[in-house]
Amino acid sequence: MNKQEAADFLGVSVRALERYVQQGRISVKYEKGKTRPTANFDPAELEAFKSELNQPTVKPAFESRQITGYLSN
């Protein structure tokens, strides 16, 4: 999968994809192209990373039982 296809698959920009590579969050293999190396991404790795991106990163401010207490007053 090339850069644009990988970015589209993840729902991010190509620049964001490049940042993930720089941060070591995604690996990329470069293969010889006609005029320059081309980036290739492993679809299985991208699938795993995509599910990681969809995980919430912050804890909710209130537990549902706390909200119920506020609403019943």
Q: Are 3 and 39 in contact (CB under 8 A)?
A: yes
Going through 1-73 in order, the beta strands assigned E by DSSP cover 29-31, 38-40
pLDDT tens across 19-66, in order? 999 999 999 999 998 999 999 999 999 999 999 888 766 766 666 665
pLDDT of 73 above 80: no
For residue 57, the enclosing domain spans 3-72
The yes-or-no verdict on residue 70 having pLDDT over 70 is: no
Total count of domains within the chain: 1
Q: What is the CATH number of the domain that holds 7?
A: 1.10.1660
Q: What is the pLDDT of residue 53?
A: 85
Q: 4 and 14 in contact (C-beta within 8 Å)?
A: yes
Question: Would you say 46 and 6 are in contact if contact means Cβ atoms under 8 Å apart?
Answer: yes
16, 19, 10: which is closest to 52 by C-alpha?
A: 10
Confirm whether pTM is higher than 0.85: no
